[in-house]
Amino acid sequence: MTLGARDSEQMSTEKSEIIKAINKLGGSVTAADVATETGLSPDKVTENLNLIASETGGSLQVSKDGNIAYAFQPGFAATYLAQGLKLFGLTVLNRACKIGDFLLRISFGLGLLLSLGLILLILMPSFLGDLFSAEAGALFEGKSKKKTTKKTKDKAPATKQAQFEQAALKSKLSLQLNSLTSFFLKCFSFLFGDGDPNKGLDEDKWQLIARTIRAKKYALTSDELSPFTGGKPGDEDAVLPVLVRFNGTPEVTDSGNIVYVFPSLKTAAADAQQQRLPENLEENAWHYSKYSQMDLQPVKILALVNLLGSWALWFMSFSGRGWHFPPPLLSFLVIYGTAFFVLPLTRYGILQKKNIAIAQRNEERRAYAKRLKAPKKELKTKLAEASKFKSETSRIEAGDIVYTTDKSLLDLPDHVDEQFNDTGKTAKS
């Protein structure tokens, strides 16, 4: 068994023990209760309680004495199990959707290649005829010049006119290839867009939260986190994922407010770069395509031609006034032509709804940030109480290092060796 698998199994065992203890103790527990019941360290218990509460909808409770308890609804263990099964199902579904999305895109690409292939097959004889005529003309001109000048060389050099025509032909073919490639990209963008504009937003969110914690000197309220988490100000349950991720602990003020402290982020060895901290998290709106309407005009014309042409062939085939196409081929042309037109319209409607929701979330987070600039009396008191828990960053300077693993103790300077020994004696005493 690998080290990672062993750690994962140990964490699973610890969670199971804590869940059993919560059930045994009636669903409302403190970290000390669970530590006493299970024998696990308080830090481990607090970390797991934050995680379990976050995943099962548990809540924090504050007593009159300022003690914090975790409250879980009856049957929360079944909810925890169901949550795990749900996450597994969503993972499988997500992978299946990615495979389905890939196959769908491939199917439209193959349809487009087939359509363009038919066009090329029709135009290819004409293209080959022009090419053959040009080469034959150049060859004939070379032979004629050879006779008039009475040269006896085995191969006549190509004339400047022939070289110019060949260069022009190569340039034309290169431009046509680039135009075809650009057309493929525009078709793909027209059908499926250009990807999620908020890809990596979750990582950005956690980075901003970590920077906010450091900027607020490692102690802050749920109101100060709401512009980034999206949770409503005062919603303490929305902070649980932050506690889990950064190993934070809740503290209770004299008036009963909750302040979240993150001592695990205090230590720093590198000089933090001075970057402007945004007031809130912003999501990007979805764009229909990165290409302009003018650039997409040929694609739209192709979509309309495919739609009208395929249905015209359908009616002609079944009315007896035209050719009788094989039903599978005819069905493919109709489905492809219709989807090429309907899919972008459907995507446009979906993007409009997504952008409305994004605009609403952005506006809410801006309002939460604006609320902090002009706090009312209750919030001002809460923020003032949080300042009592703030602390400075503990920086590790070069002179503070007494031991490093890349050097033996024998290689360290004498004053550092003495400092290390003094530290060891102090620890023993």
**pLDDT tens readout for residues 287-304:** 999 888 888 888 888 777
Q: What is the pLDDT of residues 180-216, one digit of tens each?
A: 667 777 888 888 888 899 988 998 999 899 889 989 9
Q: Is 57 exposed, middle or buried (0-12, 13-18, 19+ CB in 10 A)?
A: middle
Whether residue 350 has pLDDT greater than 90: yes
215-233 confidence digits (pLDDT tens): 999 999 999 999 999 999 8
Query: Is the pLDDT at 419 greater than 90, yes or no?
Result: no
What pLDDT does residue 157 have? 53
Mean pLDDT of 319-324: 58
- pLDDT band at 42, cuts 50/70/90? confident
User: Per-residue pLDDT averaged across 81-106, rounded?
Assistant: 70
Q: What is the pLDDT of residue 426?
A: 46
Residue 51 has pLDDT above 70, yes or no: yes
Domain 3-74 classification at class level? mainly alpha
Residue 96 structure tokens: 């299946």
Q: Is 251 helix (H, G, I), strand (E, B) or coil?
A: strand
pLDDT at site 376? 92
- Token pair of 233 as six digits: 């100000």
Looking at 84-93, 222-231, 343-352, which range is the least confident one?
Answer: 84-93
Quote the pLDDT of residue 268. Answer: 60
| Secondary structure, 3-state, 179-218 | HHHHHHHHHHHHHHCCCCCCCCHHHHHHHHHHHHHHHCCC
Cα angle, residue 157 at apex, residues 151 and 163 outer, rounded to 5°: 145
Please check the confidence at residue 331 and state whether its pLDDT lies above 90: no
Q: How far is CA 2 from CA 6, 8, 11, 12, 134, in A?
A: 6, 10, 14, 15, 70
Least confident of 128-137, 237-246, 266-275: 128-137
pLDDT, tens digit (0-9, with 9 covering 90-100), for 12-32 = 778 888 888 888 888 888 888
Q: In this prediction, what percent of the chain has a pLDDT beyond 70?
A: 64
What is the per-residue pLDDT for 120? 43
Most confident listed range (61-75, 275-289, 409-423): 275-289
Which has more pLDDT, 216 or 76?
A: 216
pLDDT value for 220: 93
> Does residue 353 or residue 48 have the better pLDDT?
353
- The C-alpha angle 167, 172, 176, rounded to 5 degrees, equals 150
Q: What is the mean pLDDT of the chain?
A: 75
Strand (E) positions, 201-295?
Answer: 219-220, 249-252, 258-261, 267-268
Phi then psi for 248, rounded to 5 degrees? -90, 170
Confidence category of residue 135, pLDDT binned at 50, 70, 90: very low
Residue 380: what pLDDT? 92
Q: Is the pLDDT of residue 405 over 50?
A: no
pLDDT over 50 at 118, yes or no: no
Q: Is residue 116 pLDDT above 50, yes or no?
A: no
Domain with CATH 1.10.10.10 in the chain: 3-74
- Would you say residue 126 has pLDDT above 50? no
Pair of tokens at residue 259: 């302040």
